[in-house]
Structure 1
Amino acid sequence: MSSVSKISSGTAVAPLTRRLPAPVAGVDLNFCRNPACAFYGVLPDPFKRPNGSPSAPPGMPRGAVPGGKHKEFYKCPACRTTSRVKNNRAVAEEHERMRRLRETDPCAPACRTASCANQGLSVEEHPELYQRFGKTKGGDPRWRCKGCAKTFSTGKPARRHKRSDKNRLVLDMLCNDLSLAKTSKISGLSYRDIYRRIGFYHDQVGSFVARREDFSRIDFAEMGSRFATDSQALTINWPSRKRRFPVVFQHLCTAHARSGFIMEASFQLDPEISSAEAEAQSRAADEDHISTAFRRHARIWTKTEFDAHLVRLAKAAGLPQVEEYGLPATGSMLRYDVMQFAHAMRLHDHIGQTDAPLIFVMDGDAGLKQSFATVFQPEVSAGRAHLAIIDFDKAMTNDMRNCVVSDGRIDLCATTGLTPTELSLIPAEFYAEILDEEVAVRLVGEPVGEWFQYPFPTKSEPNRRVCLLTDHPGLEAREKAKLMRLATLRSVDSYFHRFRSNVRFASRPQISTNGPGRVWGRHHLYDPVVLSKLVEIYRFYHNWMEPGTDGKTPAMRIGLARGRIYERDLL
């Protein structure tokens, strides 16, 4: 833990030890995260102050930081709400990694020599590092690096593919529910060639996104500024016969509600560093005696820390051991809370400049609630952003959902005096006004900031309950009713359903007959890096290439594209 020396009246005072992590690259996440609190967003005193030490500056909340090692939390002195202490450095590093993934063009012509200082520095941005060096036999421009004297050429992306005519076919099959075996059989390509093409598609998608995905030119006031965030668990098969457990990753997405555009998709894997490298870094730093919130390396799980985590889970559950979880053999698994905060920061990068009122909807995940309340604190405090969490009965059958919707419809007819036929003839915008009026009446007398059972559920979210985190006594009942109606996860849940249905490798696993509680997927992958690439590929396919019933893609609806992107445009 770092410390700071204080000077008072020319006399040195004992250094003050930090009880909260120091900010890193402008990131400081540890404060009261309760939007209803007067100290919401106010940075507390970060130092321990034993007897005889200087007092905290005036106006700075003190609060308490109790909790054991790895479990520290900040307790607000005003509202008594507790917030887990987060590692600022880990979140800042993950946010920067995510930013590079979206904003770096992997196909930009640049030196590819690993030992060269010019590696990855593109010709377009650094022309002084290269010189023209003629053309290839095919007429493509050739360049020579001034640093290592190696040459490279530019041209059509698939110019080195021997069977480039199969590229469009394989892309469509991967994104339309075909297994690897059937893709190989229909295309005539080997598994190795298909894996290579997945890498090729991933690079082309990354290049396109880096050049075209610019949210600064979107008017969110016109296009809508409501967003839904949720996560799904994706599984890969066990790494080896000796380690028979599935590896589960979280796939976290935020969707633009009106267009269905996936603003950000995060996969719980860093493919750039292996588990062995992460373990070596942790041992070299010698941080075992330091809490996770204060460590230099706290962004990803190491095997030692993950095994200790499983022991704690088993002890809490009263079990001798927990065997059904494990780390991947390739790449490293991110800490989920770090990924949640970094994901929220990336979304803030996209929409932080808009003046439109923002609405963020998420499920009851405590980590999501804290991450959005922290990152969007300026907008929430200014009254420009609202946070809502919802809950509904996911296990209902189709008939049960129809019954719930029918009961809500009957209730609406009874309160308005309209018949079901008359309700069905009302235009959507007037129907929404009727719902808001009826809900506003029922909100009168309801406690502020508590769960509310929405009386008119939809089939996709039966028995929906809503909790408005940014509720306050001054919020009008009509406005609150509108927020309750708009609080839905349908856009992101629809994308998750499409992803599982259209990417065979993301289907739900089956129970294995070889061991109790173990799962194995017939079509699941063994390499998480390939799955992480497919996450990015399908996000692009959904956003830019797949039109809906209206003939438009999500990119067209949100204003990023004038028309559909075809396979030939990408490849």
Structure 2
Amino acid sequence: MQKKSSAGDGDAIKPSTVPSQATKGDLHPEHPRRHKRRTPDEFHGIQVNYCKNPQCSNFGVPIGKKTAIGTNAYRIVASAKGFPQGHCNGCGEHFPLKSNQGIYEELSRMMKALEPAEPAPSCPVTSCRNHGTEVSQGKAFYSSFGVTSTGSQRYKCKACQKTFSVSSRPQTRQRLSHKNKTLFKLIVNKTPIRRMAEIADMDVKTVYAKIDFIHRQCMAFAQSRESKLPVMSFPRLYVSVDHQDYVINWVKREDKRNTVLTAVATAENTTQYIFAMHLNFDPSVDAMATEEDAVQRCDHELPAPYRRYARLWTQADYEKTVKISKAAKSKKTLSSSIESTYQAAEERDDIESPDEIISTEKLPEMGMQVHSEYTLYAHFMYLSHLFQGAEKVRIFMDQDSGIRAACLAAFKERIKERAADSFYVSINKEFTVDEKRRAVAEAKKTIAKLMKDEGIENKQDAILTLLKRRISEAQILGKWKDRWVFHPLATMSEPEKAMCHLTDLGGYDENHLAWLYNKASLHGVDAYFNQVRRRLSLLERGIHTSSNSGRVWNGYAPYNPSMVQKMLDVLRVVHNFTLAGATDKKTPAMRIGLANAVITYEDILYWKS
């Protein structure tokens, strides 16, 4: 990924970047009447506007390019007012246009997790020739100069003779540092904030300050390990991707609407390592300044992909899209559920946008909510960066058109090279416990009967035999005629499962294909989502009642949206590096090769680069 330029539209959104009001009669440079572009421009090497049908010759060919015979690969059509689409002249597929700049901004936000939180210590005098030269370079540049009263090492710069101190302990200047471990463990063991304060014998304000410290340490520790992932070699990665919603409580009695944020997560199914969990919320954005600038620019009058703040939910967006949910509440079979998911996506103005803000929801009181599809695109590009050393990547994802588009965009080159494959996985989640047990028992009988009738000695061989038969008899569902295969094996976590190979370019023999279908599962990410609900008090499910008109209240839910990402970050680090499996006694980080032993809470709390 390229570095952000020091000036221009790619800069972070801050109050100081908001331009003054244009004089009366003048048009803002980005006013709709000055808008001439037909397609969104590429931004810092990012261009996602192209056909996302892997079987089409235009797959991955940027909009605006001509075909080999000189004809246009695409034309622009309208889905709804403000939502232009590209129409592929090769296969007829429609795809919504996106702001490449918006995706770049969202990706830049995520990439900060792989960058050191603080620069390595060096001479603080900016005009000194040793400024930027780390103290670790040794005696040629610095000499030791004693310690401070708190135990921090002091150095003297040999170039400018300036003395400065470098803290050797992350807990320096912290009171009650001996309680950090207790609080750390309480956070990831479903303890409410006020109970943490009571158990640790400190006030709530101090608890929040220590949560910030613990979060900084977790992020710094994770950065030191995960920054190595892009250069690590992996023969195969089997990853599952899904998203989960979190409710933020209202802060004003007169406005009792919730804010609902969505986090997308990716797990490695074999090792259970959670590569990332990104929330569609940016706490660094000044909402008031952005809203004012959007009004001055007439941003809401521009088609969505051409807006300066395309990735952010503005008040104008919210007021335009809020509506009463009409989701069906009756039980459905897995096939009908797959069909209705296709239909619901097709009916949206933007098929890639899973956001469905309703009348009982509102935008955050601080920071700004990000359109989910921009978080999805950036999330998969982040994964693509991490997986550079993987020989093959198999991606199993929930049936969601936004996830599909983002995955195919980020991995398009690897898909063409047959180094990446993606599958939809749909699971019937409406089974009761008794129904799950019956499904598991019936699947066992079917497999046992096949083994007996055909003399198959190995259970795995029997499952693959059934899969090959079901692949040849795949069920065609949805407008795009996707071929769905129902898995013969049932488990308590996945009692009824169907898979669709989205990147089937041919060339795999039936045994290889059956093996891939057999590996398709969301168990890695779903198991982690269960852990989030069980271990984080702030993020447990809210309670619906017949009297709250669709609103949800959770006494433990956060009021500040930024707390959601902090909690998710802390738990992800603990899950990956500290919580060992009951059977193999290994953590996910040990299994994937990022650690040689279990990392303790103290190791993270007192880690220093």
TM-score (norm 2): 0.80
Partner of 1:40: 59
CA distance in 2, matches of 1:181, 1:408: 47
In the alignment, residue 381 of structure 2 is paired with which amino acid? Answer: M
One of 445, 448, 465 as aligned partner of 1:437: 465
Matched, 1:363 2:398: yes
In the alignment, residue 585 of structure 2 is paired with which amino acid? Answer: G
Q: CA shift at 1:312, angstroms?
A: 9.6
Matched, 1:219 2:233: yes
Q: CA shift at 1:473, angstroms?
A: 4.4
Q: CA shift at 1:289, angstroms?
A: 2.5
CA distance in 1, matches of 2:124, 2:82: 41
Once superposed, what is the RMSD of the aligned Cα atoms?
3.3
In the alignment, residue 413 of structure 2 is paired with which amino acid? Answer: P
Matched, 1:489 2:508: no
Question: What is the 5 A alignment of 1:264-303?
Answer: 264-303=276-315
CA distance in 2, matches of 1:434, 1:385: 27
For these two proteins, the number of residue pairs brought into alignment is 530
- Whether contact under 8 Å (2:439, 2:496) holds in the other structure is yes
Question: What is the 5 A alignment of 1:166-565?
Answer: 166-213=179-226, 214-221=228-235, 224-310=236-322, 322-354=358-390, 356-417=391-452, 431-444=459-472, 446=474, 449-511=482-544, 515-549=548-582, 550-565=584-599
Distance 1:78 1:144, change over 3 A: farther
Of the structure 1 ranges 131-140 and 293-302, higher mean CA displacement relative to structure 2 is found in 131-140
Q: Secondary structure at the match of 2:422?
A: strand
Q: CA shift at 1:368, angstroms?
A: 0.1
In the alignment, residue 59 of structure 2 is paired with which amino acid? Answer: Y
Q: Secondary structure at the match of 1:510?
A: coil
- Whether contact under 8 Å (2:230, 2:385) holds in the other structure is no
Partner of 1:66: 77
Q: CA shift at 1:56, angstroms?
A: 8.1
Offset from partner CA, 1:293-344 (integer Å, 9 cap, x none): 0122212112222222216989x99xxx942111111211111000000000
Give the share of equivalent positions with the same residue, in percent: 25
Matched, 1:124 2:158: no
CA distance in 2, matches of 1:347, 1:69: 33
- Whether contact under 8 Å (1:269, 1:334) holds in the other structure is yes
Question: What is the 5 A alignment of 1:137-156?
Answer: 137-142=149-154, 153-156=166-169
CA distance in 2, matches of 1:110, 1:202: 25
- Whether contact under 8 Å (1:108, 1:207) holds in the other structure is no
Q: Secondary structure at the match of 1:450?
A: strand
Of the structure 1 ranges 444-453 and 329-338, higher mean CA displacement relative to structure 2 is found in 444-453
Of the structure 1 ranges 440-449 and 168-177, higher mean CA displacement relative to structure 2 is found in 440-449
CA distance in 2, matches of 1:107, 1:539: 24
CA distance in 1, matches of 2:580, 2:204: 29
Q: CA shift at 1:433, angstroms?
A: 3.3
- Whether contact under 8 Å (1:261, 1:555) holds in the other structure is yes
Q: CA shift at 1:73, angstroms?
A: 1.4
Distance 1:81 1:192, change over 3 A: same
In the alignment, residue 177 of structure 1 is paired with which amino acid? Answer: K
Offset from partner CA, 1:122-161 (integer Å, 9 cap, x none): 77399999998763113312479999x9966412111222
- Whether contact under 8 Å (2:145, 2:163) holds in the other structure is no
- Whether contact under 8 Å (1:43, 1:61) holds in the other structure is no
Q: Secondary structure at the match of 2:74?
A: coil
CA distance in 2, matches of 1:328, 1:70: 24
Partner of 1:24: 43
- Whether contact under 8 Å (1:107, 1:207) holds in the other structure is no
Q: CA shift at 1:505, angstroms?
A: 0.7
In the alignment, residue 190 of structure 1 is paired with which amino acid? Answer: D
One of 84, 87, 90 as aligned partner of 2:96: 84
CA distance in 2, matches of 1:387, 1:182: 44
Distance 1:532 1:16, change over 3 A: closer
CA distance in 1, matches of 2:167, 2:570: 23
Of the structure 1 ranges 473-482 and 89-98, higher mean CA displacement relative to structure 2 is found in 473-482
Q: Secondary structure at the match of 1:451?
A: strand
CA distance in 1, matches of 2:189, 2:120: 29
Query: Unaligned 5+ residue runs, structure 1?
Result: 1-14, 47-54
Q: Secondary structure at the match of 1:511?
A: coil
Q: CA shift at 1:277, angstroms?
A: 2.4
Q: Secondary structure at the match of 1:540?
A: helix
- Whether contact under 8 Å (1:23, 1:88) holds in the other structure is yes
Q: CA shift at 1:241, angstroms?
A: 1.4
Distance 1:85 1:327, change over 3 A: same
CA distance in 2, matches of 1:112, 1:177: 42
- Whether contact under 8 Å (2:242, 2:266) holds in the other structure is yes
Q: CA shift at 1:442, angstroms?
A: 3.2
- Whether contact under 8 Å (1:42, 1:60) holds in the other structure is no
Partner of 1:4: none
Of the structure 1 ranges 161-170 and 489-498, higher mean CA displacement relative to structure 2 is found in 161-170
TM-score (norm 1): 0.85
Of the structure 1 ranges 530-539 and 294-303, higher mean CA displacement relative to structure 2 is found in 294-303
CA distance in 1, matches of 2:461, 2:135: 52
In the alignment, residue 287 of structure 2 is paired with which amino acid? Answer: S
CA distance in 1, matches of 2:127, 2:94: 47
Partner of 1:9: none
Of the structure 1 ranges 138-147 and 465-474, higher mean CA displacement relative to structure 2 is found in 138-147
In the alignment, residue 340 of structure 1 is paired with which amino acid? Answer: L
